[in-house]
Structure 1
Amino acid sequence: MDRETIAAAYRAACHEELRALKPGNVHDFAAGHRMAVSDFETSAVLSAGPLTEPGARVGARVLAAVEATRAAVGQNTNLGILLLCAPLAAAAEAGGDLRGTLTRVLAGLDRADAVDAFAAIRLAAPGGLGTAERHDVVREPQATLLAAMAEAADRDRIACAYVTGFEDLFSTGLPALERARARGLDPAWRPTAVHLAFLAGFPDSHVARRHGPARAEALRLEAARIAGEIDLAARPVEPLLAFDTRLKAEGINPGTSADFTVATLFCARLLAHAA
């Protein structure tokens, strides 16, 4: 797949996610967490080039995209998005069956990828990162990026994606998007369906880092309850905005669920182009 097709798919996925009402995150219906929609719009445009640099390794793509983002908006708006989308972009560039190629891309991650990814994480400085006994990002990595992700997989959903071949995208995100399409949901509400599927399906890693596993699990249960009570076909702005307001008042940002939503939308677009 050519570079501009991949970059356009990435930008479109980022913009589409921002249009959707995703409780706790930044979106067109409400800003939050000292960030505005425009910060994410700018980040999407400026990170697309580095993310799709032909022939670049995954770690290099992530680092260059984080550097471009940080220079423009001065804060972390897209680290998780980039960590998920860089392997997808590399796989799309290589061609062939996207899922099969993605598996090979992940298996080929080496120490150079770890060096660049760790530098990107340090630069982005995501909240609640904490420390680790092994493969701590504050130190120069001695292992491959895949090994480092495997070490963190039990506490970080994005790291888990690296060692499961992005199973969450294929078993949760893409099926939720397909169900939303099959139901005839308005395109603006399909990302909401995907976001709620992730939010209700797994404790959000970002919430767990910032507020603890118990709060992340409570959020998952609340999201599952709300998802079962609303009908997205009816465009339920009021109840979802009320949920959104409660979360933001508590300082809770389910950012990992939003990152997976973007990655799902990006993956879906790549699959459509490859078909």
Structure 2
Amino acid sequence: MNAPYDPGTAPSLEAAFLWACEQDVVCAKPGNVSFASAGHGMSAELFLASARAACAPLTRGSAPVGERIEAAIANTRAAAGCNTNLGIVLLCAPLAAAFEARPPHFCATPIQAVQSMQSVQRVLRALTLEDACAAYRAIALANPGGLGNAPRQSVGTTPTVDLRTAMTLAADRDSIARQYAEDFRDVLGFGLATFRAAYSARAASPAPLADAVLLTWLRFLARWPDSHIARKHGMACAQRVSSEAAVWLARGPDRLCAPRALDGWDAELKAAGLNPGTSADLTVATLFAAACMDPLLIASTTDFLPETNP
């Protein structure tokens, strides 16, 4: 599935999205599904099939954000038969719309992160009631566990407000909704800065990209209790897992990035049915943005990714 790359041009949004989704399962993150460790009744191959299925509608030029979300989830459901990427799609759809309006550039800088956030702001401010209706239908189709009922604009009802407003109502309890409410500040600010710093710091390691992805994911998890865990198992459980991530971070990157260092924690989380999936979704969105802003990431790593059949 490795995305084609032309070193003479910026990569397409499709290539950036597929690359980001690949890194999600190439990197073994405790509690998450990866090539090294299946879990929760799913495999890495299922996630790659979902990425391929979602890619075209998600990155369709000039399509409304809600339409991208609904079509991507419909394709995913047909390909995978379960919810593998709802969070990724909800995060990457507005990013794709923003990046198509502002062509990517080489050699990403902090200024580009600000420009990207401004592009995202324009996309979010233009979201409509129709976008909300389409996104709600997509969420119902994906049928994620632990959603429950909200006091206002619950996903089990027909929305009466635009998508950004609906997401803002859930921002205090859901990290993906918070991105819509706060202009993707966590992804384009905290996430990009964390990933770039980790990638630079791990340049001499045998697997600098996998290390950087793991460190970015851990920092997301340590900073914000995982919404997926909180919905299914309660906030106390989510906070406990975040505390465990902070303990690992305190041990230093050399120790936690060592081969098989996190196998025990991975086994414990999966045995308890705990999947820090929202932290993974935020990491994928960060990687997608990073690849759109710095195409050389794809050029420098494609040859090292596992080959899969389309």
- Asked if these proteins are the same fold (TM beyond 0.5), I'd say yes
- CA drift at 1:61: 0.3
Alignment partner of 2:235 out of 213, 228, 236: 213
User: Aligned letter for 1:256?
Assistant: T
Moved more, 145-154 or 179-188: 179-188
- Is 1:122 the counterpart of 2:129? The answer is no
CA deviation after TM superposition for structure 1 residue 238, in Å: 2.6
Residue number in structure 2 paired with 1:13:
20
- In structure 1, the residue matched to 2:71 is 64
CA spacing shift, 1:8–1:133, aligned 2, 3 Å: same
Q: Hey, what does 2:174 align to over in structure 1?
A: 156
Question: 1:93 matched to which residue of 2?
Answer: 100
Determine the structure 1 residue equivalent to 2:278.
Answer: 256
Q: Give 3-state SS (helix, strand or coil) of 1:26's partner.
A: coil
Partners of 2:199 and 2:211 within 8 A in 1? no
**2:226 paired with 1:204:** yes
More helix by share: 1
Q: Please state if 1:131 is matched with 2:155.
A: no
Aligned equivalents of 1:71, 1:39: Cα separation in 2? 12
2:73 equivalent to 1:51: no
Residue 148 of structure 1 aligns with an amino acid whose one-letter code is A
Q: How many residues are matched?
A: 273
C-alpha separation between the residues in 1 aligned to 2:74 and 2:254?
37
User: Could you tell me which residue of structure 2 aligns to residue 245 of structure 1?
Assistant: 267
Matched residue type, 1:99:
M
Aligned-pair distance for 1:237?
3.0
Distance 2:116 2:94 in 1: 10
How big is the alpha-carbon RMSD for the aligned residues of Structure 1 and Structure 2? 1.7
Match of 1:165 among 183, 202, 226: 183
Give the structure 2 partner of residue 140 of structure 1: 158
The change in CA–CA distance for 1:237 and 1:63 in structure 2 (over 3 A counts) is same
Q: Distance in 2 between matches of 1:230 and 1:236?
A: 10
More off after superposition, 234-243 vs 67-76: 234-243
Equivalent-residue separation in structure 2 for 1:86 and 1:92 (angstroms): 10
2:195 aligned residue:
177
Counterpart secondary structure, 1:238: coil
The runs of 5 or more residues in structure 2 that have no matched partner are 1-8, 104-114, 297-310
CA distance in 2, matches of 1:104, 1:235: 38
Please tell me the residue identity of whatever aligns with 1:198: F
State the partner residue of 2:46.
Answer: 39
Q: Could you tell me whether the CA contact under 8 Å between 1:3 and 1:54 is conserved in 2?
A: no
Distance of 1:219 and 1:7 partners within structure 2: 33
Question: How far apart in 2 are the matches of 1:114 and 1:123?
Answer: 14
Shift, 1:51, TM fit: 0.2
Deviations 1:142-199 (A, max 9, x none): 1111110010000000001101111111332111111112211522222111111111
Show structure 1 runs of 4+ deviating over 4 A: none
Structure 1 spans left out of the alignment, 5+ residues: none
Counterpart contact for 1:172–1:197, Cα < 8 Å: no
Which residues of 2 match residues 68-79 of structure 1 at below 5 A?
68-79=75-86
Q: Deviations over 1:193-250 (max 9, x none)?
A: 1111111111000000011011111111111001211424773233311111100000
Q: Secondary structure at the match of 2:84?
A: coil
